[in-house]
Chain A
């Protein structure tokens, strides 16, 4: 699996250069916090916006790699951020979006990930509480990966135990591998995290694709499809 679209980037933290970011967040203190966090990690915040309109204007005006977007923004504080993120993916395919939300919702996550098979992330806002989590996600989205919050992944895994769904067919180890895939890890990173060889990871991945009936897909987006099928189940 050398030509995977997801995970072709280097492992977290080993990015080649600063990522250019736009921060969209209506709460001033949170926005300043996020900006400082990114700057301290060596990335470049090219603009910030407090509502979707300014966000879209900034995306059109600046050279940018990733937008970090709060899902709740004016005017109605419902899902304006999500709508804006989908618009950005549609009109500026080279710009990645990382949406964060105050609550987990797989409906939102599924909608967002349906917008594209790359450079998309859905994080719970709790990721702000440890800077490395947010920074990693930004860097991975910048490199083209799909990132899903591990808390959402954990929830989905728990649910799959109860309900009659294809995920129930996975072994415990395969679940671990899938969870790390969803977080955007490469095979190498997964092997490091699980302390196994990369060969073992590859065989687990193959088993996952087979069990989720994803064998006839082109190799390039299998991993993404695996995550999506999970979310949509």
Chain B
């Protein structure tokens, strides 16, 4: 049934007037059928009237508060089934209907218990179980055709005389069919009870206990079935139990009403907890007060571009993808929507609790949203900076490749040709000394120029992207880089192994830039480079004893280094007092890049 039809039905007076009429017919019918007072029958009737009445009142209250939740309709169905299966006459039509509906209360009991609290069945197993129980009820309804009594009033309208003997067969078939259903149902109740154990789902406990009790009682009778018409006795016993179950529903609601007061104290506790709380505190506070450790807050980006977690990390959110065991509620409405809260669907039994806690947390969540958005922007910024650095590094690698494997190789082939030419010219000069036109000398000069060109090219390519960094790691690359230093360099290395490539590249450029500064500008007489891994961080210190006074604002070198550090979520500290040397401290988290 669609939600709108459900809501319309909840508001319709006919539904409720009709229900009351059925109740009156049922109870009045019994009084008329047994006009002579006897304690057993009439005591049961009174209990029945009170119980059925309170179930109907519960259904009515539920429909008023949550007309969109099918629970009210199921509760109403349970109450009416109890009344209808009790139709005793003296009308033959009513008696026949009562026979047909004799198993309905059990069906609705199963349905109600499985669908609680959302009103919807969650799994295929639940749907199969309900279908099975309906099938058993249909077999039981066959009593309409077999029930015959000498008294014409107690005779089913549809009775077929020849089938009368089958009455007990029908009852037994229904009973045996009910056994597996009862066992599965009990299993489901137990798993539900275990799941509800640590949560706020106290309301469901009485219902679960009552349903489980009835089922166990029913199953306990099974070994005696078939002896001395025991089946009948079971039905009589079950009748009393159904009254108990009916009565437990108002009790469950009474507890619900009490927990309403509990929810107010939850809100008060939440308000106190959120007063002056740090960013990111709202989600754990909500999880704590609602006793749902898996509760999640997703905040909507102010520019409407999606949702983020309170720490700013991106979160995909689509209400269609929320699993049946989870539920969600918006924070704020429509254009003012701040985000959504995802919580255990069991909490839907107390919608007011959810609504009031979210309302109480809303102001804090708005702050949280701004903070989260800021965080998200920082994450995006860092990601884009990382991408820029990575793209630049990739480009450098490509240029280095082209220089080494393209241009330099061509120069070598030119050089080999030149070598042959030199030999040829030298031989000719030797054999024909008169013709000393100086070709050999020219070729020697070309050779020298070519060697210089190759040398220069090698230096350029090495500066762009040192192959040894990729092939042999940070320490080897730094040793190679500082090998020809005019200033003594001491490298101490306490690295473990396996730095990621982006970290090695960043560290390499920071150290080599600092090293060049120390050599070129700082007039240092010694340089110390220290590499170590401390607490999941690569810590690099470059210290010289030069003139100091390095200024990040002048020149792009140092600023470029800071960009590299930032792109990997690291830090760079430059300490360069005038006349007292320069110290660079680079820290890069090892899990970055």
Contacts and interface: CB of A to CB of B under 8 A. Distances in A.
B151 to A, nearest CB: 98
Interface in A9-32: 27, 29-30
A130 B450 CA distance: 12
Given A155-B483, A155-B484, A103 B462 contact: yes
A162 B471 contact: no
B488 A105 contact: no
Contacts of B454: 126, 129
B194 to A, nearest CB: 56
Q: Is the interface of B mostly helix, strand, loop or mixed?
A: helix
Interface string A134-165: 00000000000000000000010011001100
Interface string B348-374: 000000000000000000000000000
Nearest to B418: A129
Nearest to B486: A162
Interface string B458-472: 100110000110111
Interface in B395-433: 401, 404-405, 408-410, 412-413, 415-420, 423
B484 A33 contact: no
B216 interface: no
Q: Is the interface of A mostly helix, strand, loop or mixed?
A: helix
Please tell me the size bucket of the interface on B.
35 or more
Nearest to A78: B471
Nearest to B401: A77
B451 interface: yes
A72 B405 contact: yes
Given A107-B480, A125-B412, A162 B485 contact: yes
B114 to A, nearest CB: 61
Given A37-B416, A129-B451, A79 B483 contact: no
Contacts of A106: 480, 483
A131 B423 contact: yes
Given A159-B484, A162-B486, A129 B416 contact: yes
B412 A33 contact: yes
Interface string B438-478: 00000000010011001000100110000110111000100
A37 B458 CA distance: 24
B479 interface: yes
Contact of A163 (B408, B419, B472, B488): B488
Contact of A103 (B409, B419, B423, B458): B458
A128 interface: yes
A102 interface: yes
A27 B480 contact: no
Nearest to A163: B488
Contacts of A108: 468, 472
A26 to B, nearest CB: 8
A27 B451 contact: no
Contact of B476 (A30, A107, A163): A107
A105 B404 contact: no
Contacts of A33: 412-413, 416-417
Residue of B454, B471, B476 with most partner-chain A CB within 10 A: B471
Given A33-B416, A126-B451, A129-B419, A159 B483 contact: yes
B564 to A, nearest CB: 23
A165 to B, nearest CB: 11
Given A30-B412, A77-B405, A107-B480, A131 B468 contact: no
Given A30-B412, A126-B454, A128-B415, A162 B488 contact: yes
A107 B480 CA distance: 8
Nearest to A40: B420
Given A77-B405, A79-B471, A103-B467, A30 B483 contact: no
Given A27-B409, A72-B405, A162-B488, 13 more contacts: A33-B416, A34-B416, A72-B404, A77-B404, A78-B467, A103-B467, A108-B468, A126-B454, A129-B412, A130-B419, A155-B484, A162-B486, A163-B488
20 contacts: A27-B413, A29-B410, A33-B413, A34-B416, A72-B467, A78-B470, A102-B404, A102-B458, A103-B404, A103-B467, A106-B483, A128-B416, A128-B419, A129-B412, A129-B419, A129-B450, A131-B419, A155-B483, A159-B484, A162-B488
